[in-house]
């Protein structure tokens, strides 16, 4: 664990890194800051500070890819699951490996593709040239996602342990990013509500406005509480709940804050639209709120068993 003073310095460094104009420059600044060392020293502090800030300023970086690679002990870029999914992005058919995944970083000559085969996971080292790499425009071009699809044959695979743990870590990271984005949207809407005057009063005096903002805060705090709990118990099930709650709270905040910001929030002249776009995609990344929630509910109904109680 790093101490409070070191953490403050580190968080300030993260803040400066995200002041850089491009994602390459952000990556370089995070490298200089020693984020990888921080990750080894205090995983929770390193992940929560970086991703919360990344969400707050609506930036992007290679940090999610690095996190999965570091968790899996992989040498090189690890392909993320396809949007909306959380299972490994590779599928094995005889000698062939089919790939359907994503990356948040620009990748080099080779990528690591994890595939599920029967009762184990396998990591394949795949030449990038064998795959189709499509820079994603989509609803949020500034997220700079790369879609990675295609098929390859006769590649070397190594048995791999730890997909579940790497996925859980990734879900917590994206969860923090969603909470950061939600808090930023709430602050934008709050500032607007205090300034915007209608009927001779700031709209912040109207209960309909106040309650939307209050509901946004309640949703955000609930998500943050599950993120905290997931860092304590380190259970994959709790991490999935944290991801689901973070996605849900971001959608709630986006809906309420956009309504409070009204016309101006629907224009590209105001910053809100960047967050609205961002959370639409981040909710889907590593499992959407809806899908993860339904999966949990199906398991609970089938097993008639609630998740273990978080101890006092």
Partner 1 sequence: MELDEFRTSLDAWLDEQEGALAPDHDGLGTLDEQMAQLTKVKRLTFDAGWMRWGWPVRVGGLGGTTLPRAYLGEALTSRDLVEPGIYSMAEVLAPTMIDFAAPELAATMVPRLLRGDETWCQGFSEPGTGSNLASLSCRAVRSHGGWRVTGQKVWTSLAQYSERCVLLTRTGSVESAHRGITALFVDMDSPGITVRPIESMHGVEEFCEVFFDDVAVPFDRTLGEEGQGWSVAMDLLPYERSTSLWHRAAYLHRRLQQLLDAAPPDTLDAAEVGQTTQLLYAFRARSRSTQHRLARGEDLGPETSIDKVLLATIEQAVFDLVGDGLASDLAIGDGTTSERWRTEFLYSRAATIYGGSAEIQRNIIARRLLDLGSDR
Q: What does the binding site for partner 1 look like in residue numbers (CB under 8 A)?
A: 186, 190, 193-194, 202, 204-207, 210-211, 213-215, 217-218, 221-223, 225-226, 228-229, 238, 241, 244-245, 248, 290, 292-298, 300-301, 304-307, 309-310, 312
> How many of the other CB atoms lie within 10 Å of CB of 158?
11
Minimum CB distance to partner 1, residue 183 (Å): 11
In the bound state with partner 1, the residue whose beta carbon lies nearer, of 82 and 242, is 242
In the bound state with partner 1, the residue whose beta carbon lies nearer, of 150 and 202, is 202
Q: Which residues pair with 124 in a beta bridge?
A: 113, 157
Helix (H, G, I), strand (E, B) or coil at 162: coil
In the bound state with partner 1, the residue whose beta carbon lies nearer, of 29 and 260, is 260
Q: Which residues pair with 130 in a beta bridge?
A: none
Distance between CA atoms of 164 and 273, rounded to whole angstroms?
Answer: 33
Phi, psi at 99, each rounded to 5°: -120, 130
In the bound state with partner 1, the residue whose beta carbon lies nearer, of 98 and 234, is 234
Distance between CA atoms of 78 and 179, rounded to whole angstroms?
Answer: 24
Angle CA 224–262–204, to nearest 5: 70
Sign of the torsion formed by the C-alpha atoms of 119, 124, 130 and 133? positive
Q: What are the tokens at 230?
A: 């997931």
In the bound state with partner 1, the residue whose beta carbon lies nearer, of 212 and 277, is 212
Minimum CB distance to partner 1, residue 299 (Å): 8
Place of tokens 């984020």: 35
Minimum CB distance to partner 1, residue 89 (Å): 24
Q: Report the candidate in 12, 89, 80 with the shortest Cα–Cα distance to residue 50.
A: 12
In the bound state with partner 1, the residue whose beta carbon lies nearer, of 139 and 310, is 310
Minimum CB distance to partner 1, residue 190 (Å): 6
In the bound state with partner 1, the residue whose beta carbon lies nearer, of 98 and 210, is 210
Place of tokens 């700079």: 144
Distance between CA atoms of 173 and 217, rounded to whole angstroms?
Answer: 20
Minimum CB distance to partner 1, residue 307 (Å): 6
Place of tokens 């006769």: 154
């Amino acid at each position: 664990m790093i101490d409070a003073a070191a953490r403050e310095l580190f968080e300030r460094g993260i803040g400066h890194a995200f002041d850089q104009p491009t994602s390459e420059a952000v990556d370089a600044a995070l490298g200089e800051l020693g984020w990888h060392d921080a990750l080894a020293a205090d995983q929770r502090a390193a992940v929560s500070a970086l991703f919360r800030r990344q969400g707050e300023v609506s930036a992007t970086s290679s940090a999610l890819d690095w996190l999965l690679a570091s968790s899996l002990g992989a040498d090189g870029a690890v392909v993320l699951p396809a949007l909306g999914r959380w299972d490994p992005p590779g599928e094995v058919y005889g000698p062939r490996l089919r790939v359907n995944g994503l990356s948040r970083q620009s990748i080099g000559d080779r990528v690591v593709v994890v595939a599920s085969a029967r009762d184990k996971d396998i990591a394949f080292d795949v030449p990038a040239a064998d795959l189709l790499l499509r820079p994603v425009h989509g609803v949020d071009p500034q997220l700079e996602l790369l879609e990675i699809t295609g098929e390859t044959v006769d590649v070397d695979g190594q048995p791999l342990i730890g997909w579940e743990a790497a996925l859980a870590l990734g879900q917590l990271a994206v969860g923090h990013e969603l909470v950061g984005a939600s808090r930023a949207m709430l602050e934008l809407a709050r500032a607007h509500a205090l300034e915007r005057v209608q009927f001779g009063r700031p709209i912040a005096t109207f209960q309909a406005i106040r309650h939307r903002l209050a509901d946004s805060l309640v949703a955000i705090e609930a998500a943050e509480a599950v993120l905290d709990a997931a860092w304590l118990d380190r259970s994959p099930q709790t991490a999935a709940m944290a991801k689901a709650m973070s996605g849900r709270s971001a959608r709630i905040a986006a809906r309420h804050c956009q309504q409070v910001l009204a016309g101006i929030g629907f224009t590209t002249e105001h910053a809100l639209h960047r967050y609205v776009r961002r959370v639409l995609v981040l909710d889907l990344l590593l499992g959407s709120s809806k899908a993860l929630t339904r999966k949990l509910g199906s398991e609970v109904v089938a097993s008639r068993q609630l998740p273990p109680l978080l101890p006092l």
